Amino acid sequence: MNPHSVTRIAYHYLDTGRGDPLVLLHGFTGSSATWDEVVPHFMQRFRVIRIDLPGHGRTPAPVGPTRGALPSVAADIAALLRHLNAAPAHLLGYSMGARLALGIAVLHPDVVRSLILESGSPGLATETERAARRAHDEALATRIERLGIEAFVDEWEQLPLWASQQQLPDYVRQRMRAERLRNSPSGLAASLRSMGTGAQPSFWDALPHLTIPTLAITGALDEKFTAIARQMCARCPAMTHQIIEGAGHAPHLERPLEFARCVFGFAAC
């Protein structure tokens, strides 16, 4: 059976290595290439499955907001893992991918063995917050479509969220920029509209009921998401939190060896 026959979208994925399945879900503007720095470490122990999320990399943008909504994508990923005989899997998500990973764990817990959330959140708690964020994301989506990919990436890379990445070697930053530029304006805009933080359901109330072993990882320089991780841990007895010094929003990129050790120590137990 072709994997595309069990999902609503034709997902592109890479399946390499041997061992327990470790599924990697990237963030907004990324792709499966996001994980290139850490995959060699993971393949020492795991079967690594990297998935391009809708509107990113080689996975097409969804047709309509419902098909690309987080619950729908979560169902797709769960179906894909079952099809690949990769369930239950260790599930690792970064930023947008962390929100999706948490959604999969809440909605399809049978496919998740453990959960690792890098710079993630459960969404926004109130409808007022979600409505404001949807309006912000719609404005950004429209701007991406108007500017085109290169001008948008120029702006995106100047956000304070990425300030700590100025410490990275030039070749890493160039590779990251090339990865972003391979995405299309229509794909990124569709992702914002269907899977943005304001579009997804809130999972705050689900945290106390989550029994899957969960690790939140944040960079010490990313004060916002470190605070969110602490709030999640206070609500979720199954969750622990590890902070990586010297890293911002993307510890897997900024401190790949330390990040890999965190993941390996948690998921290999």
pLDDT value at residue 67: 85
pLDDT at residue 4, as a whole number = 59
Q: Can you spell out the DSSP letters for 60-115?
A: PPPSSTTTTSHHHHHHHHHHHHHHTT--SEEEEEETHHHHHHHHHHHH-GGGEEEE
Of 201 and 62, more confident: 201
Q: Once rounded to an integer, what is the mean pLDDT over residues 208-220?
A: 98
- pLDDT of 199 strictly over 70: yes
DSSP-based helix, strand, coil % in the chain, nearest 5: 50, 15, 35
Cβ atoms of 10 and 60 within 8 Å: the answer is: yes
Mean pLDDT value across the chain: 95
Cβ-in-10-Å burial (0-12, 13-18, 19+) of 68 comes to buried
Q: What's the angle, vertex CA 149, arms to CA 36 and CA 249, rounded to 5?
A: 45
Looking at the predicted structure, is the pLDDT value of residue 2 above 60? Answer: no
- What's the CA angle centered on 244, arms 104 and 23, to 5 degrees? 30
Per-residue CA distances from 89 to 40, 46, 173, 194, 269 (Å): 18, 10, 30, 25, 13
Domain ranges of the chain: 3-267
Q: How many Å apart are CA 73 and CA 178, to the nearest integer? A: 25
Please give the Cα distance from 224 to 205 (Å, whole number): 20
220: β partners: none
Residue 174 has pLDDT above 80, yes or no: yes
| pLDDT surpasses 60 at 1 | no
The top-level CATH class assigned to 3-267 is alpha beta
CA nearest to 206, candidates 99, 113, 116: 99
Residues sharing a CB contact under 8 Å with residue 76, sequence separation 6 or more, in sequence order = 7, 8, 9, 11
Listed residue (188, 68, 85, 64) closest to 138, CA to CA: 188
Judge if pTM exceeds 0.85: yes
AA identity, residue 188: L
Is residue 3 predicted with pLDDT exceeding 70? no
